[in-house]
């Protein structure tokens, strides 16, 4: 999905605050499993009846009701909502009331097609007379289907803070999974442990999210990390370290990427995927950046009224970004002394990396900003291989590939483009094995970055 100019938590709170649907069910699509469940915990703590929909099982429906030209995440999410509603109709029979449901689908005003997903899905739902009453709640949408009055205006800032924190904690749980699983003492133990921990943390967000009692949430997270550490077999030596970048939906939705991380692990890798918080921070950072450009331009032209409004935006988005950094640092400071998990880069640092290497500009936007800079950071940090994961035909990821491939060849760092569209390619596993063989050679030649 498109990151540039997409809904930040600023717009989330502003828009969520306008709507009112406390007696409805909010349907959250499962992009990243852990973050979806933790976000549901946050919604529930604010009195919203939210649930995570099953994912990927409705792909046939998604394909049936799309033309094939859409991005793959659009097909997956369309299938998710259609299958969910079909099952609800079966379960409830005549008691099925479409107005009771709101499908939660963010939108974007950037250059990609993501901004069109929810509009297209509106057309699909409207093509079934019995589903016309199902609303689509969009973070930045101004249409009348929106989530009316879901959260009181005065609580929207608190909601935004808790939602952001849930994303940070979900990222840490994912990093814990990728840190433990390649070194687990007992095969399969990590998956069960992380699933249980996810539910525990979701319950904690439900109990403490609205109160913003983040210390209690972090206390529980510490206990989870301690428990997870005990699953690691200290006698298993470090493995080649693989970094994953790419399009946010595909790299975090394990069904869509055919569980790429697990497959890489099967062939000897330890993997670090880019976080979701990075994407959220990027969208906020970009708002600050754009407001600064507007401020400078208007000051130069002596348009002080407009400059004043841009200054307000700089301060407002800047305050949000500062808050996000404080929470991010708070969480990682608590967990890093316990276990050497990978951290997150500051977006300003990533922009500097792009400028220094003269590779791409934040002016152009899109997730390519994060992916290209993220790859350069991995190169600098001594990763043994890098995978770029994306939906087939994804524009920003194709740009990323075209820019970084020559660099990876020059630096002799194994690089894998991993596009997905739901089909199973017979040669994919062989490609991954070859990539891992190269990564292992790199690891033998140059060693690897230390954990953390
Ligand atoms: S082109 Fe890529 S980033 Fe843009 S909407 Fe499609 S999948 Fe998302």
246 Cβ inside 6 Å of ligand 1: no
Tell me, using a 6 A CB cutoff, whether residue 295 lines ligand 1.
Answer: no
Lookup: tokens for 440: 């292992």
Q: Find the 232 Cα to ligand 1 centroid distance in Å.
A: 37
Asked if the model's pLDDT at residue 141 lies above 70, the reply is: no
As a whole number of angstroms, the distance between CA 90 and CA 78 comes to 19
CA of 399 to the centre of ligand 1 (A): 12
Tokens of 352: 């500097």
Q: What's the rounded Cα separation, in Å, for the pair 204 and 248?
A: 26
Domain ranges of the chain: 9-141, 155-237
pLDDT tens by residue, 197-224: 999 999 999 999 999 999 999 999 999 9
Best residue among 2, 77, 370 to mutate for probing ligand 1's pocket (most ligand atoms within 8 Å of CB) is 2
Model confidence pLDDT, tens digit, residues 375-426: 999 999 999 999 999 999 999 999 999 999 999 999 999 999 999 999 998 8
Q: Are 351 and 282 in contact (CB under 8 A)?
A: no
Single pTM value for the model: 0.92
Q: Can you tell me the mean pLDDT for 105-109?
A: 68
User: From atom 8 of ligand 1, which residue's Cα is the shortest distance away?
Assistant: 1
**Residue 4 pLDDT exceeds 90:** no
Per-residue model confidence (pLDDT) at position 213? 97
**Residue 110 Cα: closest atom of ligand 1:** 4
> In the structure, what pLDDT confidence band is assigned to residue 22 with cuts at 50, 70 and 90?
low
Ligand 1 contact, 389 CB (< 6 A)? no
Distance, CA 250 to ligand 1 centroid (Å)? 10
Atom number in ligand 1 closest to CA 366: 3
Residue 383 contacts residue 449 (beta carbons within 8 Å): yes
Return the minimum-mean-pLDDT range out of 103-117, 192-206, 276-290, 307-321: 103-117
SS3 17: coil
Interatomic CA distance for residues 208 and 311, integer angstroms: 34
Atom of ligand 1 nearest to the CA of 72: 7
CB 395 near ligand 1, within 6 Å: yes
Q: Please give the sequence-ordered ranges of beta strands (E in DSSP) within 6-162, or none if there are none.
A: 25-28, 49-52, 101-104, 135-137
CB atoms within 10 A of CB 139: 23
pLDDT at 16: 41
Residue 373 predicted with pLDDT over 80: yes
In the chain, count of helices (H) and strands (E)? 16, 8
CA of 1 to the centre of ligand 1 (A): 4
Mean pLDDT of 250-254: 98
Strand 385-391 to 270-273 pairing:
unpaired
Cα–ligand 1 centroid distance for 114 (angstroms)? 6
Ligand 1 centroid to Cα of residue 267, in Å, is 29
Q: How many CB atoms lie within 10 A of CB 447?
A: 13
Quick check: 27 and 104 in contact, CB under 8 A? Answer: yes
Do 190 and 180 contact (CB within 8 A), yes or no?
yes
State residue 112's pLDDT score.
Answer: 72
- The whole-number pLDDT of residue 137 equals 79
Whether ligand 1 lies within 6 angstroms of the CB of 272 is answered as no
Which of helix, strand or coil describes residue 263?
Answer: helix
What per-residue confidence (pLDDT) applies to 20? 52
Is any atom of ligand 1 closer than 6 Å to the C-beta of 112?
Answer: yes
Q: Is the CB of 76 under 6 A from ligand 1?
A: no
Distance 248 CA to ligand 1 centre (A): 9
**Which CATH fold would you assign to the domain 9-141?**
Rossmann fold (3.40.50)
DSSP 27-74: EE--SSHHHHHHHHHHHHHTT-EEEEPP-STTHHHHHHTS-S-S-HHH
CA of 366 to the centre of ligand 1 (A): 9
């Amino acid at each position: 999905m498109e990151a540039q100019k997409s809904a930040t938590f600023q717009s989330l709170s502003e828009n969520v605050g306008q709507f009112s649907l406390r007696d409805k069910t909010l349907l959250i699509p499962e992009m990243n499993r852990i973050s979806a469940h933790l976000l549901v915990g946050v919604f529930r703590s604010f009195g919203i009846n939210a649930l995570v929909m099953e994912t990927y099982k409705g792909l046939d429906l998604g394909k049936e009701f799309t033309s094939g030209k859409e991005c793959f995440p659009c097909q997956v999410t369309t299938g998710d909502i259609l299958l969910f509603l079909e099952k609800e109709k079966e379960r409830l029979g005549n008691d099925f009331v479409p107005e009771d449901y709101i499908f939660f689908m963010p939108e974007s005003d950037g250059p990609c097609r993501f901004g069109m997903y929810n509009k297209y899905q509106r057309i699909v739902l409207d093509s079934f007379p019995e589903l016309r009453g199902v609303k689509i709640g969009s973070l930045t949408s101004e249409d009348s289907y929106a989530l009316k009055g879901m959260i009181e205006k005065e609580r929207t800032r608190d909601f935004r803070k808790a939602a952001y924190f849930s994303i940070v904690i979900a990222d840490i749980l994912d990093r814990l999974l990728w840190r433990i699983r390649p070194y687990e003492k007992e095969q399969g133990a990590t998956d069960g442990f992380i699933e249980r921990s996810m539910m525990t943390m979701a319950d904690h967000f439900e109990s403490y999210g609205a109160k913003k009692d983040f210390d209690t949430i972090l206390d529980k997270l510490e206990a989870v990390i301690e428990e997870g550490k005990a699953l690691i077999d200290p006698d298993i030596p470090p493995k080649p370290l693989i970094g994953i970048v790419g399009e946010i939906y595909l790299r975090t939705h394990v069904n869509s990427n055919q569980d790429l991380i697990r497959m890489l692990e099967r062939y000897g890798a330890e993997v670090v995927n880019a976080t979701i918080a990075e994407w959220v921070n990027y969208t906020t950072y970009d708002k600050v950046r754009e407001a600064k450009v507007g401020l400078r331009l208007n000051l130069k032209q002596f348009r002080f009224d407009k400059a004043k409004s841009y200054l307000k935006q700089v301060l407002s988005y800047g305050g949000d970004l500062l808050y996000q950094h404080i929470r991010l640092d708070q969480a990682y400071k608590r967990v890093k002394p316990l276990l050497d998990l990978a951290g997150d880069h500051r977006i300003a640092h990533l922009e500097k990396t792009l400028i220094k290497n003269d590779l791409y500009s934040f002016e152009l936007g899109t997730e390519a900003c994060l992916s290209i800079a993220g790859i350069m950071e991995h190169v600098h940090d001594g990763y043994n291989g890098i995978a770029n994961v994306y939906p087939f035909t994804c524009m920003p990821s194709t740009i990323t590939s075209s820019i970084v491939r020559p660099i990876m060849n020059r630096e002799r760092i194994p690089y894998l483009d991993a596009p997905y569209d739901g089909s199973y390619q017979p040669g994919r596993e062989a490609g991954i094995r070859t990539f891992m063989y190269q990564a292992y050679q790199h690891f033998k030649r140059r060693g690897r970055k230390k954990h953390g």
